[in-house]
């Protein structure tokens, strides 16, 4: 079962009818039902640094305004990423450790080891391949009939790209999507619906599969061949990460990070961009009339969608923010999804404006030392997708309401039906 299957949704109350100190921004129904906007608006206006005493994820602070999120995200000494960056606590039976959940110096060493995979030179080399793959996917879609956009395009493209950067067997690429979904979909982590035993089995399968791939690459290198430029070869060749295969927790954690990092995020931005062009038809017309706006539109979509709703930190000492005293040891959740809609910082934040000025000034990639390592890759995939869409189609009409992910972490779509109209 993936994130959103068979979830019964009870009606959510009007946010203004709930006592302010009981508003629970971690309720996954807010995201599954697309109701989070009004809840966050109230909290941003009335109690922007908000404390909830009691929740399924324990007590936590919510940081909801743009500038306060900047203050927290850029202060890693006070706001530690250890032991974990999702609101929930990881399961003791599955200890994981990865560099997004580490502070310096370990974070910096491990990030530096894998960063070359997304270096500008490597990205430039990937561009042609991405274009070829998205073109093939788009050319294979039936015209004029209802199709499932999430599985046929968004998931397909991101799994192909991940298989490329991992040099993972192409025919098994759908496993990458599955592992990514189960990694973040546990109820105790994000309010997801993935069964505990299924999750453990899947993640061990992931570790074993990547373990075998690692050994295969090590043997290839030992036989005198030059190492590849994929993520496993880079980790295997770097002195800070080469023994990671023997540190199961870190091995599993870093693979999970790289798979999730490059997966749900880009996938949900692609789906979100199609929905946005349906909700704002004038902006779609503007884009079609002027495809040079695509790079700007891509940033605007990534802001509007905010594919990862939050990151959490733990305060390492008492700290005052917005007139509130955050105590040492408190859990602090930065809601990017709210900061990106903060009217104090962004004009008309709920609207998608494809030629918005300074569209890249958003929070979706985070800030500071953990700022998304794959941000340029994600943007590139979206840009190429739209360049190729506009060459082929006049319209991508969304039919009915999309089904959204039941999670307070992944802000995205399980399913979205569309009908394509080719260019006249």
Q: Which residues bind ligand HEM (CB under 6 A)?
A: 73, 99-100, 111, 118, 257-258, 261-262, 265-266, 269, 302, 307-308, 311, 364-368, 370-374, 377-378
Packed helices 174-184 and 156-166: angle between N→C axes, nearest 10 degrees? 100
Whether residue 56 contacts residue 35, with contact meaning beta carbons closer than 8 Å, is answered with no
Task: Select 42 or 62, whichever has its Cβ closest to ligand HEM.
Answer: 62
Q: How many residues does the chain have?
A: 424
Pairing of strands 324-326, 319-321: antiparallel
Report the nearest approach of ligand HEM to the CB of residue 113 (Å): 11
Task: Select 308 or 420, whichever has its Cβ closest to ligand HEM.
Answer: 308
Task: Select 192 or 374, whichever has its Cβ closest to ligand HEM.
Answer: 374
Task: Select 163 or 420, whichever has its Cβ closest to ligand HEM.
Answer: 163
What is the spatial distance between Cα 146 and Cα 142, in angstroms, rounded to a whole number?
A: 8
Whether residue 405 contacts residue 375, with contact meaning beta carbons closer than 8 Å, is answered with no
Q: Taking Cα atoms as reference points, which of 345, 276, 338 lies closest to residue 310?
A: 338
The H or E element spanning position 51 is: strand 49-52
Report the nearest approach of ligand HEM to the CB of residue 394 (Å): 26
Report the nearest approach of ligand HEM to the CB of residue 289 (Å): 25
Which residues are CB-neighbours of 299 under 8 A, at least 6 positions away?
359, 360, 362, 379
What is the spatial distance between Cα 332 and Cα 84, in angstroms, rounded to a whole number?
A: 12
Task: Select 57 or 365, whichever has its Cβ closest to ligand HEM.
Answer: 365
Report the nearest approach of ligand HEM to the CB of residue 300 (Å): 12
Task: Select 52 or 410, whichever has its Cβ closest to ligand HEM.
Answer: 410
What is the spatial distance between Cα 287 and Cα 298, in angstroms, rounded to a whole number?
A: 11
Report the nearest approach of ligand HEM to the CB of residue 417 (Å): 23
Question: How distant is the alpha carbon of residue 5 from its chain centre?
Answer: 20
Task: Select 192 or 366, whichever has its Cβ closest to ligand HEM.
Answer: 366
Question: How distant is the alpha carbon of residue 210 from its chain centre?
Answer: 22
Report the nearest approach of ligand HEM to the CB of residue 16 (Å): 29
Burial 321-359 (b: 16+ CB within 10 A, else e): bbeeebeeebbbbbbbbbbbbbeebbeebeebbbebeeb
Report the nearest approach of ligand HEM to the CB of residue 149 (Å): 17
Which residues are CB-neighbours of 98 under 8 A, at least 6 positions away?
110, 250, 253, 254, 256, 257
Phi-psi region of 127 (alpha: psi -120 to 50; beta: other; left: phi over 0): alpha
What is the spatial distance between Cα 181 and Cα 1, in angstroms, rounded to a whole number?
A: 9
Report the nearest approach of ligand HEM to the CB of residue 369 (Å): 6
Task: Select 4 or 265, whichever has its Cβ closest to ligand HEM.
Answer: 265
- Give me Rg for the CA atoms of the chain: 21
Task: Select 42 or 265, whichever has its Cβ closest to ligand HEM.
Answer: 265
* φ, ψ for residue 59, nearest 5 deg: -70, 145
Report the nearest approach of ligand HEM to the CB of residue 70 (Å): 10
């Amino acid at each position: 079962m993936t994130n959103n299957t068979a979830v019964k949704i009870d009606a959510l109350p009007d946010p203004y009818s709930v006592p302010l100190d009981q508003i629970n921004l971690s309720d996954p129904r807010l995201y599954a039902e697309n109701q989070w906007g009004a809840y966050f608006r109230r909290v941003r206006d009335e109690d922007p640094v908000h404390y909830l005493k009691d929740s399924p994820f324990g007590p936590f602070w919510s940081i909801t305004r743009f500038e306060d999120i900047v203050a927290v995200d850029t202060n890693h000494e006070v706001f530690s990423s250890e032991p974990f960056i999702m609101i929930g606590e990881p399961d003791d039976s599955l200890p994981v450790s990865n560099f997004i959940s580490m502070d310096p110096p370990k974070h910096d060493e491990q990030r530096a080891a894998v960063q070359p995979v997304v270096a500008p030179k490597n990205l430039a080399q990937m561009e042609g391949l991405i274009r070829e793959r998205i073109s093939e996917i788009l050319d294979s879609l039936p015209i004029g009939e209802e199709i499932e956009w999430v599985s046929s395009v968004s998931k397909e493209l991101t799994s192909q790209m991940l298989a490329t950067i991992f040099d993972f067997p192409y025919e098994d690429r759908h496993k990458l999507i599955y592992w990514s979904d189960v990694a973040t979909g546990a109820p105790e982590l994000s309010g997801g619906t993935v069964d505990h035993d299924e999750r453990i089995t899947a993640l061990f399968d992931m570790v074993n599969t990547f373990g075998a791939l690692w050994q295969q690459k090590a043997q290839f290198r030992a036989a005198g061949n030059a190492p590849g430029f994929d993520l496993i070869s880079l980790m295997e060749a770097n002195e800070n990460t080469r023994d990671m295969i023997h540190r199961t927790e870190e091995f599993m954690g870093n693979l999970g990070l790289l798979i999730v990092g490059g997966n749900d995020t880009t996938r949900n931005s692609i789906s979100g961009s199609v929905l946005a062009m349906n909700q704002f038809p004038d902006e779609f017309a503007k884009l079609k009339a002027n495809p040079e706006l695509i790079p700007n539109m891509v940033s605007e979509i990534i802001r509007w969608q905010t594919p990862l709703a939050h990151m959490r930190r733990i305060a390492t000492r008492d700290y005052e923010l917005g007139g509130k005293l955050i105590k040492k040891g408190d859990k602090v959740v930065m809601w990017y999804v709210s900061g990106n809609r903060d009217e104090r910082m962004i004009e008309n934040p709920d609207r998608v404006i494809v030629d918005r000025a300074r569209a890249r000034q958003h929070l979706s990639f985070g800030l500071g030392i953990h700022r998304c390592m794959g941000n340029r890759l994600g943007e590139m995939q979206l840009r190429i997708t739209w360049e190729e869409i506009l060459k082929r189609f006049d319209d991508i009409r969304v039919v009915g309401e999309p089904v959204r992910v039941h999670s307070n972490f992944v802000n995205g779509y399980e399913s979205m039906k569309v009908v394509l109209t080719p260019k006249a």
